[in-house]
Structure 1
Amino acid sequence: MNRFAVGLIVLTVCPFSGLAAQNDAASYVNTLIGTQRSALGYGGTMPFVTTPFGMTSWTPQTRQNKISVTSYNYGDTTISGFIGTHQPAIWMGDYGYVTVIPQVGELRTTPELRKLPYSHRSENARPDYYGVSLDAGADGTIQVEMTATERCSILRLTFPKTAEARVIVEASRPGISGMASINPETREITGFNPHRMDAHLGPFVLPKFRGYFVVQFEQAPLNMKTYGMDDAKAELSRGAYAEFKPGQTIQVRVGTSFVSIEQARANLEHELSGWNFQAVQDNLRAKWNEKLSRIQLSGATDEDKTRLYTAVYHTLLYPRIFSEYGHYYSAFDDTIHAGESYTAYSIWDTFRAENSMLTLLAPERIDGMITALLQNFKEGGWMPKWPNPSYTNIMIATHADSLVAEAFRKGFKGFDRQVAWQAVYKDAMTPPDGDTTRRWLDREEHTPYEARAGLTYYKQLGFIPTDKTDEAASRTLEDSYDDWCVAQIAEALGRTEDYRFFLKRSLNDRNLYNPAIGLMNGRTSDGGWAPIGGSRDDNQNRSVSGWTEGDAWVYTWSPFHDQAGLIQLMGGVESYDAKLDQHFSGGHNVHSNEPSHHYGYLYDFGGQPWKTQAMVRKIAAKEYEASPGGLDGDDDCGQMSAWLLFTAMGFYPVNPANGEYMIGSPMYEQISLRLASGKTFRVEASNNSAQNVYIQSATLNGKPLDIPVITWEQIQAGGTLHFVMGQRPSEWGSQWKPQLISSN
């Protein structure tokens, strides 16, 4: 998702060193990948120290984050603090954050005055640890080290001997009514931050929302004070600080919570009961290694391993756990509930491959993640599009339907299947409030929950008209896919009539095919064709052609479920493949944004799988590098990284909810996936190289595989998928044909 344009500059990168000397998987992760703006692109990532799916992530703060600005950017030269953040992506905001600032000399609380220079040469960024030296000028250097648990962090701060040491805790920023208080007897600073940067994007005001924190010091401070109060009698302060003797190493524990200060303290007791920094780091490294080591590579360089294991790290950050030992705050009814919860689902992005990757790498989490979406439905009225942590109305369609359908298809049963039906049925049948009186503009503020905007027209006309609803053409195509997902859920529940109804309605995508141009085309309410381009009517701030972050070329092949129908509309596989050739040769494939992610695999449907094999290898080589500037486009909560992981393994979920994976071109001699069952699924590629990208033959567990498709069940059974690779295209897999959905 690229909701904000980002300027490109070329920077000198600092290579990640020391890989060859270490043999655990975490040592290959470079958390700086995606943090630099480069000629390749900008990933918008941050060097998070956290657990897989951690509730709070910890990162150095080189700039004050906000919507469109992340806390860390590799091109910056100063650090103003170390933030416990919940910001999931560059185009989303933070909420309930807390910042810790080490300092010497006079008290300086503003980011501009407190920032200190640093060099990447002193920086050590890994999933389990972040360390850096801050230049305090004539006073010397401050060494900062961080490690973390799921909800907490421990910092080790080594101060110079020449000046009194200070640790500042910033509860909130100017204009935000946060609070910090001190307790010298317990060596604690406690408080809360009510800031929700995305509050204007959703329908709910949440008066009880707060991000709570408890900060504890191992060493006894000389004194503790608050700062930032409007007057001496004010009850709220913007922050607090503790001062210490010069030359000490000070250890700081920070607990976070969305339930209460008491719960933040309880989270510390659960996760950081002692002061053994190394033990906490070792435990975090073990957590990451357990997950990372589920994928093993052979025939890969250290640089390859850095690319791949960093991609695994990125895919395992989201969605975030949002519950605290049996309870969670709901940002959908502003109330505390019993149970488990998650947030930060970038669903428009992640339903494509990230969620599918989690079903392989973290299947133990899927039931809880689906349950969280269903709890949101019960508490707020709808499953969310993009909870952060409440409704934000970011992006289009209701692709939570896809996540639910994928869970059904893959046999996950630890959630309420009847509530799931109620949720997806409402998505598909109930228009949002004011559906025909609103344009539903991108990031329109303070609207009701958007759900399937334009659904009223979709039900009446079979498409959403561009003169009535913004981004209407893209919505029609994506709603069609979601209808297919609802149909699959209905079938699994034995709801035959509902299955037939939604399956037929899932073919509404065909209503937008314009045979005169051989592309999908938005339509107006009178049935005519809308302008085909990607322009906007600036006077009315609305989409004229009806596209979301793209154009007709980007969206023509978007109905994942109906490629056979598209082949038929285009007049056969020859025309389908020729149009794909035009798509790629014309520069229409923009891999930095998600609608193009499955396009490289579409030649499989058109009987030319050798073109898929060449194309996906070309994209992987062009779009991903093992450097801070090595990620083209926002990582989008793991989706960009999940594409690379699937492509490296040699298959990709074009339709993520049908349990099938289209075969591409495996990138290494061998890559294996250890499954939750203990079985291993191994992909071998004999004669593989950068030149030998074409599949000559394939076997699955020793038996010939003649189609470019494998299934969820085949992967879960374990075994070996073996390819023989070569320099020239072959006819392997070209006889396979996708199944056409009947309109009857």
Structure 2
Amino acid sequence: MNYKKILFTLLLPFGSMAQKQPADYVNPLIGSAPSTTESAKKHSEAGSEMKGQIVPAIGVPQGMTSWTPQTRATELKCIPPFYYNDTKIQGFRGTHWMNGSCVQDYGSVTIMPMSGKLNVNTTDRGSDFDRKTETVKPSYYQVTLKKGNIKAEMTALSRAGFLQFTFSQNQENYIVVEPNSDEGEGFVEIHPEKNEIVGCNPVHRIYQGVGKPAGFSGYFVIQFDQAFTDFGVWKNNEITSKITKAQGNGQKQAVGAYAQFGTQLVKVRIGTSFTSLEGARKNLEGEINHWDFSKTRQASNNAWNKALGKIQVKGSEYDKTLFYSALYHAKLTPRVFSDIDGTYTGFADDDNIYQAKGFDYYEDYNLWDTYRAVHPLHTLLEPKVTADMMQSLVKKAEQGTWLPIFPCWNNYTAAMIGDHATAAIGDAYIKGIKGFDIKTAYQFMRKNAFEVNADQKSYEEGKGRRALASYLQYNYIPLQDSVWQAFHKREQVSRTLEYAYDDFVLAQIAEKLGEKGDYEVLMKRSKNYQNVIDPKTGYARGRYANGTWIKNFDPFAQRSSFITEGSPAQYTFYVPQDVDGLIKHIGGEKRFIEKLDTLFDQGYYWHGNEPNNQIVYLYPFANQAWKTQEKVRQIIREEYDISAGGMSGNEDGGQMSAWLVFSMMGYYPVCPGTPNYIIGSPTFEETTLNLPNGKTFKIIAKGNSAKTPYIQSATLNGKPFTQNFLTHQQIMAGGILNLKMSSRKSL
């Protein structure tokens, strides 16, 4: 992606230049403080779930490296580099944090300005700041550090950042550079003749292969616009002047470098790479080959306006902030992983350097979360990005021999359950995305679904479906089958339900590719949900190998060992591929509605956890669409706001925000892998999609307000429209969906 050209790209139509642009509405701080929603307080099962786990990511959509103020130094699991409630800034970090996650940052580097006494200790050097001096936008961050009265500014493109610091005095001004290696393996080298500091931060794994080297590093080349008056390095806070190199000894030894300056304004530009220092230098030269800070800031801002402007909305200023902030958050991961020339390091144990030809190579897929709405949103708005993301998954499979389940840090993990690379690839293919190798993808998806990985070592590394042998033997995973080679070690019912869904998606691909035999087998397996949903109780329930159901069963228990991060009642509704069949299986529409109502009306629904996200859109399947319309509006207002705590639980790679984007537009992809979006209740008076094929699709909600959530009637392109869903083809064909809104329920 060439961001040098974006500066000169005309923005999509959004009114005159005097009007606010989409990026102007974004508040990157949403989700960076503990959640204030009742759902998060009631259902949280871990401390991290009470936080959106979001950092203000400054850069461009899907950028390799984002930049954020740092308030926490660690790269430990579940600790992001920024918390809104922290009171001191320790520096400004080039981060690869997966926004909204409970994983770890990796390969990062931090830069901190200071005046007077040089202090390299990460905690001690932290400075108080006043939020009144803070400006936070997707393309720009500014704050005044009270310690030394230093104005700090930063902006960034995909692989390169640009910082500038305005000191209040002309002497004893320092800039400290620290690779954030928790293992103490960081490296720095100073080239004073080039006004340059380079280095790297080796990446280590968690989950599968915890603590082992990931096989690559975060490399950085930092250039300054002027000569140093002094320079040096440190190890474990011991500073040595005029020394040009420092290498950590692997014993959690902190290392870093510093440079001293004799002027008030110092500009800093940084190239980053996952392949080499040479790659970082090329990335910097290719994206920022000048010292004009405002030029880079404008290019970044234009990139965001181009991406966000693909959806235009008419409504309140508050709702525009809510909407565009969510759209921004949904466009941060997966991240570009390849260098500007296409080079990238091989996946997992493959140490080769590859060339991505005709596509960008992506990494960091929160697939258990993001297949639901993030990837469908990319598919709708960014077909080329989607094609590149899917081709990246194919390349990972080729290099690692198995299709990854939850690929992060360019490695396999078995961090979550399911096999949702299949869901993401299948949804893209069924919706007509071209530009990736679907035939090769199918062979690896099929391998995951049909082959038990008998090689214990590679299975432990995360290759292959967990517990597939018993799933194939019993058509469900019995309670006796624990999965010790995964982060989630039991959760047999949830695994069964998710595999049944993945099998359905794979069946759709098989049918389209003419694989009739596979299609028939997979469609039969897609009914396996019936084997773990007890028709007597009407709830998902643990089952032993002999067919008996677990006793002492509470469908609303939040700690059931056979359920993933939720309750049996919540997971009962995880049958997106066959909602009509589920209704019949548990006793008909009346009982289905009663169970849905119980979930919502008695407070058992947990919006902050992803398996719940589609539930509110299931009422139309039982002919009560008005309840979806009513409750979607309620969830939007109760679970989201524009404050720093305005997100219900972890963001999880953009999923919570992507749900909001779709829901505020008025529809949601309940079952990715099919071309249908279930209609809800749009927030805006008017929503326009500027589609990648040059057409527009508009939803006009006549009489829309907070008091009129119900759809009384609809027309599509002037003709009566009575469906409870839109198809992808209908949207891509362009046109106008006119909705007549009312305060009366449409029964």
TM over 0.5: yes
Question: What secondary structure sits across from 1:195 in the alignment?
Answer: strand
Task: Find the aligned partners of 1:467 and 1:559 in 2 and give their Cα distance.
Answer: 23
Q: Is the 8 A contact 1:69 1:90 kept in 2?
A: no
| Residues 669 and 476 of structure 1, relative CA distance in 2, 3 Å threshold | same
What is the aligned partner in structure 1 of residue 623 from structure 2?
607
| Residues 588 and 433 of structure 1, relative CA distance in 2, 3 Å threshold | farther
Question: What secondary structure sits across from 1:308 in the alignment?
Answer: helix
Question: What secondary structure sits across from 1:72 in the alignment?
Answer: coil
Q: Is the 8 A contact 2:470 2:476 kept in 1?
A: yes
Question: What secondary structure sits across from 2:79 in the alignment?
Answer: coil
Provide TM-score, normalisation by structure 1: 0.90
CA shift at 1:697, angstroms? Answer: 0.2
Task: Find the aligned partners of 1:103 and 1:80 in 2 and give their Cα distance.
Answer: 10
Report the residue type matching 2:225 in the other structure. Answer: E
Alignment of 1:78-227 (within 5 A): 78-88=88-98, 89-136=100-147, 140-161=148-169, 163-173=171-181, 175-196=183-204, 198-202=205-209, 205-206=212-213, 208-227=215-234
What is the aligned partner in structure 2 of residue 240 from structure 1?
257
Task: Find the aligned partners of 2:463 and 2:541 in 1 and give their Cα distance.
Answer: 23
| Residues 71 and 564 of structure 1, relative CA distance in 2, 3 Å threshold | same
2:81 paired residue among 68, 71, 74: 71
| Residues 206 and 422 of structure 1, relative CA distance in 2, 3 Å threshold | farther
Question: What secondary structure sits across from 2:104 in the alignment?
Answer: coil
Q: Is the 8 A contact 1:203 1:449 kept in 2?
A: no
* 1:447-489 deviation per Cα after TM superposition (whole angstroms, max 9, x unaligned): 3215321110110001001221211000000000000011111
| Residues 570 and 90 of structure 1, relative CA distance in 2, 3 Å threshold | closer
* 1:108-165 deviation per Cα after TM superposition (whole angstroms, max 9, x unaligned): 11211110001111110001100000011xxx40100000011110101011217510
What is the aligned partner in structure 2 of residue 13 from structure 1?
none
* 1:491-530 deviation per Cα after TM superposition (whole angstroms, max 9, x unaligned): 1110111101101111000111212211111211221112
What is the aligned partner in structure 2 of residue 460 from structure 1?
473
Report the residue type matching 2:462 in the other structure. Answer: Y
Q: Is the 8 A contact 1:462 1:511 kept in 2?
A: yes
Question: What secondary structure sits across from 1:724 in the alignment?
Answer: strand
Question: What secondary structure sits across from 1:225 in the alignment?
Answer: strand
What is the aligned partner in structure 1 of residue 721 from structure 2?
705
Task: Find the aligned partners of 2:423 and 2:53 in 1 and give their Cα distance.
Answer: 26
Report the residue type matching 1:257 in the other structure. Answer: S
1:301 paired residue among 287, 310, 316: 316
CA shift at 1:87, angstroms? Answer: 1.2
Question: What secondary structure sits across from 1:418 in the alignment?
Answer: helix
Matched, 1:335 2:332: no
Report the residue type matching 1:165 in the other structure. Answer: N
What is the aligned partner in structure 2 of residue 33 from structure 1?
30
What is the aligned partner in structure 1 of residue 45 from structure 2?
none
Task: Find the aligned partners of 1:304 and 1:594 in 2 and give their Cα distance.
Answer: 23
Task: Find the aligned partners of 1:520 and 1:207 in 2 and give their Cα distance.
Answer: 38
What is the aligned partner in structure 1 of residue 644 from structure 2?
628
What is the aligned partner in structure 1 of residue 10 from structure 2?
none
Identify which range, 383-392 or 262-271, moves more after superposition. Answer: 383-392
CA shift at 1:336, angstroms? Answer: 1.1
Q: Is the 8 A contact 2:160 2:287 kept in 1?
A: yes
Task: Find the aligned partners of 2:717 and 2:502 in 1 and give their Cα distance.
Answer: 34
Task: Find the aligned partners of 1:512 and 1:534 in 2 and give their Cα distance.
Answer: 13
What is the aligned partner in structure 2 of residue 408 from structure 1?
429
* 1:371-408 deviation per Cα after TM superposition (whole angstroms, max 9, x unaligned): 10011111112222222221222110101111111121
2:385 paired residue among 365, 389, 392: 365
Segments of 5+ residues of structure 1 without an aligned counterpart are 1-19, 439-444, 538-542, 732-744
Question: How many equivalent pairs are there?
Answer: 693
Task: Find the aligned partners of 1:331 and 1:165 in 2 and give their Cα distance.
Answer: 42
2:548 paired residue among 514, 522, 528: 528
CA shift at 1:107, angstroms? Answer: 2.1
Alignment of 1:573-588 (within 5 A): 573-588=589-604
What is the aligned partner in structure 2 of residue 739 from structure 1?
none
Task: Find the aligned partners of 1:76 and 1:101 in 2 and give their Cα distance.
Answer: 17
Identify which range, 145-154 or 355-364, moves more after superposition. Answer: 355-364
Q: Is the 8 A contact 2:30 2:645 kept in 1?
A: yes
CA shift at 1:219, angstroms? Answer: 1.4
Report the residue type matching 2:83 in the other structure. Answer: N
Identity, % of aligned pairs? 41
CA shift at 1:37, angstroms? Answer: 1.4
Report the residue type matching 1:31 in the other structure. Answer: P
Task: Find the aligned partners of 1:691 and 1:223 in 2 and give their Cα distance.
Answer: 65
Q: Is the 8 A contact 2:31 2:646 kept in 1?
A: yes
Q: Is the 8 A contact 2:413 2:461 kept in 1?
A: no
Task: Find the aligned partners of 2:101 and 2:731 in 1 and give their Cα distance.
Answer: 34
Alignment RMSD: 2.2
Task: Find the aligned partners of 2:91 and 2:438 in 1 and give their Cα distance.
Answer: 45
Q: Is the 8 A contact 2:560 2:567 kept in 1?
A: no
Alignment of 1:261-410 (within 5 A): 261-298=277-314, 300-324=315-339, 325-332=341-348, 333-339=350-356, 340-389=360-409, 390-410=411-431
Task: Find the aligned partners of 2:164 and 2:34 in 1 and give their Cα distance.
Answer: 30
What is the aligned partner in structure 1 of residue 706 from structure 2?
690
Report the residue type matching 1:77 in the other structure. Answer: T
Alignment of 1:617-656 (within 5 A): 617-656=633-672
Q: Is the 8 A contact 1:151 1:257 kept in 2?
A: yes
CA shift at 1:235, angstroms? Answer: 5.7
Question: What secondary structure sits across from 1:698 in the alignment?
Answer: strand
Alignment of 1:53-68 (within 5 A): 53-65=62-74, 66-68=76-78
Q: Is the 8 A contact 2:155 2:161 kept in 1?
A: yes
Q: Is the 8 A contact 1:432 1:449 kept in 2?
A: no
Question: What secondary structure sits across from 1:309 in the alignment?
Answer: helix
Question: What secondary structure sits across from 1:490 in the alignment?
Answer: helix
Q: Is the 8 A contact 1:206 1:331 kept in 2?
A: no
Question: What secondary structure sits across from 2:460 in the alignment?
Answer: coil
Task: Find the aligned partners of 2:368 and 2:334 in 1 and give their Cα distance.
Answer: 13
* 1:5-44 deviation per Cα after TM superposition (whole angstroms, max 9, x unaligned): xxxxxxxxxxxxxxx9851111111111111114225311
Report the residue type matching 2:36 in the other structure. Answer: A
CA shift at 1:676, angstroms? Answer: 0.4
Task: Find the aligned partners of 1:635 and 1:171 in 2 and give their Cα distance.
Answer: 26
| Residues 72 and 446 of structure 1, relative CA distance in 2, 3 Å threshold | farther
Question: What secondary structure sits across from 1:155 in the alignment?
Answer: strand
What is the aligned partner in structure 2 of residue 737 from structure 1?
none
Segments of 5+ residues of structure 2 without an aligned counterpart are 1-16, 38-49, 249-254, 483-489
Task: Find the aligned partners of 1:102 and 1:312 in 2 and give their Cα distance.
Answer: 32
Report the residue type matching 2:525 in the other structure. Answer: R
CA shift at 1:68, angstroms? Answer: 1.3
Task: Find the aligned partners of 1:713 and 1:631 in 2 and give their Cα distance.
Answer: 32
